[in-house]
Structure 1
């Protein structure tokens, strides 16, 4: 038997190679990292001015929870993130699909999207404050605008990458334009759209912090800004950890959506 036939078979799925799930490895790596940080800061290998003890950060979390400040800062941030990201993602997916399907819309909007995509969205915050005021409107607008452009680019790119053979097959079976879009184009583009959504929501969290650092009494960004101005590393790292956990939760939610919508790939 040749070496080729002896080679281990490669499992495939509709979207590519089938990944294996190794549960627990990420948690172990996280625990090891925190343990090393605790040992290093406790025994003086790492300066307290550089990194606070993880145990002290945990005590800060407990204090935040007991005093109720955790929810006073977290709930406004979640509200701003959900509203702003929902607006940006919804409009972005709609515009991206239209660009992918209609050549005239593509010709008109792609140059505009290409022009505004590289603009640092944080730099536009003063402009949004002038337009929408210093209250919630400017924060919603910044997050929505920041998630809009990457969602548009990811969406029309995903539509473009749908296998044209499948579209021609649908046409040969006499499917209508609407049926081809609903049954072939949108399901085929969904993996790319969801991948782009991960990036868009990560950008939304970054812009949330930036928006809350200007003109917000409560919010994770305002909490981090206050802690940084006082050089309170325990509170500063507590805020950073909250943002990190928020990012993990967002990623897990998108993963759940992928498992529901992309069951055909398994």
Structure 2
């Protein structure tokens, strides 16, 4: 065979693509299959007597308790009260955290003044401050919203100024060399580059907010998922307890899904 034909066949051979960049591949039904498998094994274990109904009731019993709660009209009251507290507290805490974190990341005076304060208060368990908030704001909604706000504020602050600190300085210098204003550099370079860290911080603060929501409602609330779980535990009604835990898990999944949608929308430039 002539040498030219060998070289032509070698050059025509397709080269596999190696630039995927470790992007995760979507596996839509794997998570659903795992959840379904766990529920099926749990149900079978309960029906066969392997799992005691007193310790852990079957998923069907928890679902029936949730259906009874919906038929009585209390499901809407508990969910509505919890969602209102969570949305107000998390939204206000995230907005304030973004403002303070951006100020710390961009201003040396704000960093010197606020960064030690954030580092000193962040390790304090926020639920330990709930009695103080009750004294300040009363036993009503104010103390619960303040607890959630306080808990979501600090992770957002730390994630925001940490993301700003990790922005490539070469990009900022490039913007300065093109004579961009400080506001344009912040808006077009700094914040987009820091956005992955900010959204990751919001995931953490959302989880902390749900934990604080339940704790605050257990201490003093008539309606709310935390109050429902506490009442079920006091009555040793494990099926209602599991139903309340399932509501919290669903709430966490919805919040995680919303933040994931925001990441896909705002961070599409990474793909």
Partner of 1:184: 189
1:104 CA displacement? 1.0
1:128 equivalent to 2:133? Answer: yes
Whichever of the two has the greater Rg, that structure is: 2
Asked whether 1:163 is paired with 2:188, we answer: no
d(CA) in 1 for partners of 2:235 and 2:256?
Answer: 32
What SS is found at the alignment partner of 1:248? helix
Structure 1 gap ranges (5+): none
| Pairing partner for 2:90 from 77, 85, 88 | 85
* Structure 1 residue 259: Cα displacement: 1.4
* Corresponding position of 1:49: 54
Q: Aligned equivalents of 1:50 and 1:154: distance in 2?
A: 40
Pick aligned residue for 2:116 from 111, 114, 126: 111
252, 257, 263: which is aligned to 1:258?
263
- Residues of 2 paired with 1:213 and 1:244: CA distance? 17
Secondary structure at the residue paired with 1:22?
Answer: coil
Aligned-residue Cα RMSD (Å) equals 1.3
Q: How far apart, in 2, do the equivalents of 1:66 and 1:50 lie? A: 26
Residue of structure 2 in register with 1:68 after alignment: 73
Shift of 1:201: 0.6
What's 1:9 paired with?
18
User: After TM superposition, where is structure 1 displaced by more than 4 Å over at least 4 residues in a row?
Assistant: none
Q: Distance in 1 between matches of 2:250 and 2:156?
A: 23
Q: TM-score normalized by structure 2?
A: 0.93
CA distance in structure 2 between the partners assigned to 1:28 and 1:19 by the alignment: 18
User: How many residue pairs get matched?
Assistant: 258
Paired residues for 1:131-150 under 5 Å: 131-150=136-155
Deviations 1:206-257 (A, max 9, x none): 0000111122100000000000001100000100000000000000101111
Alpha-carbon distance between aligned partners in 2 of 1:185 and 1:60, rounded to the nearest angstrom: 50
Aligned equivalents of 1:100, 1:25: Cα separation in 2: 40
Q: Does 1:22 align with 2:31?
A: no
Q: 2:208 aligns with which of 193, 203, 210?
A: 203
What's the counterpart of residue 235 of structure 2?
230
Secondary structure of residue in 2 paired with 1:217: coil
Q: Who is 2:245 aligned against?
A: 240
Partner SS for 1:216: coil
Deviation string 1:158-177 (CA, Å, 9 cap, x unpaired) is 11111111111111111111
1:149 deviation in Å? 0.7
CA–CA distance in 1 between the matches of 2:119 and 2:19? Answer: 39
After TM superposition, give the deviation of residue 7 of structure 1 in Å: 8.3
